[in-house]
Amino acid sequence: MNSRLLESIAGEYGTPVYVYDESKIISQYNRLKNAFGKQEVKLHYAMKALSNINVLKTLKDQGAGLDAVSIEEVYLGLRAGFEPEEIMYTPNGVAFSEIEEAVALGVMINIDNLSVLEHFGMVFGSLVPVCIRINPHILAGGHANISVGHIDSKFGISIHQLRHIQRIVEHYKLHIVGLHMHTGSDIVDADVFLQGADLLYQAAGYFPELKFMDFGSGFKVAYKEGDFVTPIEEIGTKIGESFQNFCKEYGRELELWFEPGKFLVSESGVLLVSVNVVKQTTSTVFLGVNSGQNHLIRPMFYNAYHRIENISNPAGQKKLYSVVGYICETDTFGYDRPISEAKVGDVLGIYNAGAYGFSMSNQYNSRLRPAEVYIRDGVPHLIRKRETLDDVIRNEVDLTLSPAYAAKMTE
């Protein structure tokens, strides 16, 4: 996306605004599909990264399935046109009633808890096929908050509890059709996937009726020049070969699944913000913008780096700025960044904002969530309206305006 197009979008739709390039999403999808060569792979998009219906429909058109982590995401996937069998539902710590609701909808259930697995067996027995999420106890990813395969993780059933899983499966005659693992995000070592794959291959010996294996995701994309990234083609080649060898040993062909989220949508997105103030202190020059952690929490939550450019003055002389938000908390998008000289009213672009940007946004400080714009065939389209104050107060109930409350007070 060039600066001129982004500046025109900011002018037409205002700021802050999320902008996504559909062509980048499609190219990332095709790159991942093609990385496995002749090995067929099924990609289930991790919709928690970005769940706008237009993005979901784009990926459905490419042939993707969905990975949903809540019953609400399941409903959003169905609303976007996905068939129930195209959706993998992978909850964590939910009430069993939510799992029963998902079963009634016909989606694939992925269980990551021994007690839930036993409860599932008591209720459904062999009637409902189910997948099991294994925790491989592999340290992977960067920030601790995105590493989910370690021994203290709340996700998955320990690889060391396979015998216990087997006892539950045999007792309740559960129909186990899939094994799943996800070790974390921002993985740059292909051997991490191979190590996890070997563990799943070994675990498969306990389950003779498998139809698929899901290796999760965690592919790292570049956030700045020279960044280490996941070697997708190397992983595709190595996993493809190892999976084919495993299937020969297992005795039949299984489906190979992955569930990419960030890899597909992160680089497609830019958050456009406007400079409200230029503030010089004794040590720092701040650019205060009309956004904050309420719109993009990743820099604060994960210490994530996002490239920032002055869209209004892309060729200007570089100066060091710290870009901060308007929230009454420490919400710094970037410290000491070389950015083209900026003035009040300039539009800044915060890049790699397509994943876990809008989907993690909130109304802290009673601020409004931004609009979303989708670029399709070079043309921008509004795909989500900017919130208004009515959206903030929509579900509030003012007791002083309630007839029932007034009646009680006069009793």
pLDDT tens column, 22-56: 999 999 999 999 999 888 999 999 999 999 999 99
Q: What is the CATH number of the domain that holds 342?
A: 2.40.37.10
Does residue 9 lie within any of the structural domains? no
Give the C-alpha separation, 188 to 377, whole Å: 32
Q: Provide mean pLDDT across the span 176-181.
A: 96
Check: CB of residue 6 under 8 Å from CB of residue 311. yes
Contacts for 84-87: CB closer than 8 Å, 24+ residues apart: 86/44, 86/60, 87/44
Check: CB of residue 295 under 8 Å from CB of residue 16. yes
Pairing relationship of beta strands 87-89 and 108-111 according to DSSP bridges: parallel
Give the C-alpha separation, 50 to 260, whole Å: 11
For residue 7, report the phi and psi dihedrals to the nearest 5 degrees: -65, -35
Say if residue 122 is in the same domain as residue 242: yes
Look up the pTM and report it.
Answer: 0.93
Cα dihedral sign for 366, 73, 269, 139?
A: positive
Give the C-alpha separation, 160 to 140, whole Å: 18
Instruction: For residue range 352-398, list pLDDT tens digits in order.
Output: 999 999 999 999 999 999 999 999 999 999 999 999 999 999 999 99
Say if residue 308 is in the same domain as residue 183: no
Instruction: For residue range 107-133, list pLDDT tens digits in order.
Output: 999 999 999 999 999 999 999 999 999
Check: CB of residue 153 under 8 Å from CB of residue 202. no
- Give the lowest-confidence range in 53-57, 237-241, 341-345: 237-241
Does residue 396 lie within any of the structural domains? no
Confidence label for 140 from pLDDT (cuts 50, 70 and 90) = low
Q: What is the pLDDT of residue 144?
A: 45
Say if residue 203 is in the same domain as residue 109: yes
Say if residue 108 is in the same domain as residue 169: yes
For residue 321, report the phi and psi dihedrals to the nearest 5 degrees: -135, 155
Q: What is the pLDDT of residue 145?
A: 43
Residues carrying an active site annotation: 328
Residues 6+ positions from 300 with CB-CB distance below 8 Å: 293, 329, 330, 331, 332
Say if residue 158 is in the same domain as residue 188: yes
Pairing relationship of beta strands 269-280 and 308-310 according to DSSP bridges: unpaired
Say if residue 201 is in the same domain as residue 282: no
Q: What is the CATH number of the domain that holds 157?
A: 3.20.20.10
* For residue 262, pLDDT beyond 90: yes
Say if residue 125 is in the same domain as residue 205: yes
Number of domains comprising the chain: 2
Q: What is the pLDDT of residue 309?
A: 97
Instruction: Give the domain range for residue 377.
Output: 266-387
Confidence label for 220 from pLDDT (cuts 50, 70 and 90) = confident
Confidence label for 231 from pLDDT (cuts 50, 70 and 90) = confident
Confidence label for 149 from pLDDT (cuts 50, 70 and 90) = very low
* For residue 146, pLDDT beyond 50: no
Does residue 403 lie within any of the structural domains? no
Say if residue 234 is in the same domain as residue 289: no
Confidence label for 102 from pLDDT (cuts 50, 70 and 90) = very high
Give the C-alpha separation, 149 to 288, whole Å: 38
Say if residue 253 is in the same domain as residue 293: no
Among residues 244, 260, 276, the one where a domain terminates is: 260
Q: What is the pLDDT of residue 148?
A: 44
* For residue 98, pLDDT beyond 50: yes
Give the type of residue at 148.
V
Q: What is the pLDDT of residue 138?
A: 79
Say if residue 143 is in the same domain as residue 166: yes
Say if residue 181 is in the same domain as residue 205: yes
DSSP 368: P
Does residue 81 lie within any of the structural domains? no
Task: Give me the chain's average pLDDT, please.
Answer: 92
Say if residue 191 is in the same domain as residue 282: no
Cα dihedral sign for 176, 177, 181, 185?
A: negative
Q: Provide mean pLDDT across the span 168-192.
A: 85
